Amino acid sequence: MTTTGELTYRRIHRATPELLFDCMTTPEHLTRFWGPIGTTTPLDGIVVDLRPGGAFETTMVSDADGSTHTMRAVYAEVSRPDRLVWVEADVEGGMRTTVTFTDLHDGRTEVVTHQTNVPAAYLSAAAQAGFATSLDRFEAYVAGLDAGHG
């Protein structure tokens, strides 16, 4: 039996829950930040069928060698602008990611990403650091959107 665990990441963004939800569910936004530093996610490598039972797929391309990694998931819950849940069936045990968007009523939103059934390989410090860079990319992208509208 493979060991699995849980991970939780929290970030606060100066943006509305609606904007953050849309960034996480629109291919034209996702292509700008999805994946850790050192990868790109081309628009044609993103599938979003935004409904329970719908597909969510991203193909990340390594900047270093062009190798690809595809994440295949199915949406379990879609509740704009508060909550997104998807399950990665390709990952042993079906890793479940829940993203909640909580309006702090001061122009900021707390985004909590909670993962369960996380495979041991994803629990390593290096894997968590890589995931954190993807959250950094999201934060920078959203900040740029805010600057563009302000």
Domain ranges of the chain: 13-149
Question: Above 80 in pLDDT, residue 91?
Answer: no
Question: Above 80 in pLDDT, residue 32?
Answer: yes
Mean pLDDT for the stretch of residues 61-85: 97
Looking at residue 6, its pLDDT comes to 95
- 94 Cβ contact partners less than 8 Å away, ≥ 6 residues apart: 87, 88, 117
**pLDDT tens track for 110-126:** 999 999 999 988 899 99
**Minimum mean pLDDT range among 10-14, 15-19, 144-148:** 144-148
Copy the structure tokens of residue 27.
């291919």
Domain at 13-149, CATH class: alpha beta
Specify the pTM: 0.92
* 87 vs 1 pLDDT, higher one: 87
Pairing between strand 46-48 and 39-40?
unpaired
Rounded to the nearest integer, the mean pLDDT of the chain is 93
Looking at residue 1, its pLDDT comes to 45
Peptide bond connecting 119 to the previous residue in cis, omega within 30 degrees of 0: no
